[in-house]
Amino acid sequence: MFDTFDEWDVPITDTVTIHGRSGGTGPPVVLLHGHPRTHTTWYRVAPLLAESGFTVVCPDLRGYGRSAKPVPDERHEVYCDRTMAADLVALMRALGHPRFAVAGHDRGSYVAYRTALDHPEAVTRLAVLDSVPILEALERADARFAEEWWHWFFFGASPHAERVITADPLAWYRPDENRMGSGNYRDMVRAISDPATVLAMLEDYRAGLTIDRAHDEADRAAGRTIACDTLVAWSTRDDMEHLYGDPAAVWEPWVSGGLTSARIDSGHHMAEENPVQLAETLARFLR
């Protein structure tokens, strides 16, 4: 994986180090993974974007993969999207990229759009993949959402989640080596087998139900929007259209820059299932 990419561990504070890889030359773009993946989920997409003329940066989010796992706090600020967005800006500055595009999938998309909202001077373009804003998802939650996305509330609210998952993480997550690719599979298995990673991932969801929602509410009340051009893309064989109809329409009030959309012929893990179409879609948008 990532044969031509550099692998690194970059300290961004006295206590937090971010692990990841980067490669290519040209305008910088950050690719943010979702739950429970690590940065290696991009191993097919990242080289294609590098070949298309981009500097591609793939980090493990705080708490995920081999990045730092600081002790959680009661308000869930340690693992909220605002904190992770600050991580991303500090990482990119350390790598020599004060301005960059960012694409995020699943949980990574929440960090991506929070970065665009909190740091408009840093984000040139935004791509959100398989998501709507957290506040929109929670306000629109109905019986269908509860049935299909029940894990949000188990992870975010149940006192039993950590014990249940760590008892047998492979049985819980059921990663498929054939579909994921062996290197990507091994990286994820290493991560989810660490109880500290499981706790951190649960804290991500706990923040989503509390402080992240509050940050979205404050932004909407203040009329803050995403100023850069934004791509909304979703998997046609996932449940986004079933839940939201046109996901781009849900994003529209949140974006004051240009808004475009794309449908990817894939299941949920689009970077692994249809990397060619995803890379082509991102490259067209980022040029």
**Which residues are known to be catalytic?**
106, 268
Rounded to 5°, the CA angle 177-180-183 comes to: 75
Contact (CB, 8 A) for 161 and 154:
yes
Nearest-angstrom CA–CA distance, 118 and 254: 13
Nearest-angstrom CA–CA distance, 207 and 209: 5
Peptide bond connecting 36 to the previous residue in cis, omega within 30 degrees of 0? yes
CB under 8 Å to 271, separation ≥6 — which residues?
A: 31, 33, 41, 42, 44, 45, 105, 278
Half-sphere exposure of 233 toward its Cβ, with a 13 Å CA cutoff?
A: 27
How far from 135 is each of 118, 212, 225, 268, 270, CA to CA, in Å?
16, 8, 14, 21, 24
Nearest-angstrom CA–CA distance, 231 and 82: 21
Token output for 6: 């550099």
Contact (CB, 8 A) for 85 and 118:
yes
Nearest-angstrom CA–CA distance, 161 and 139: 23
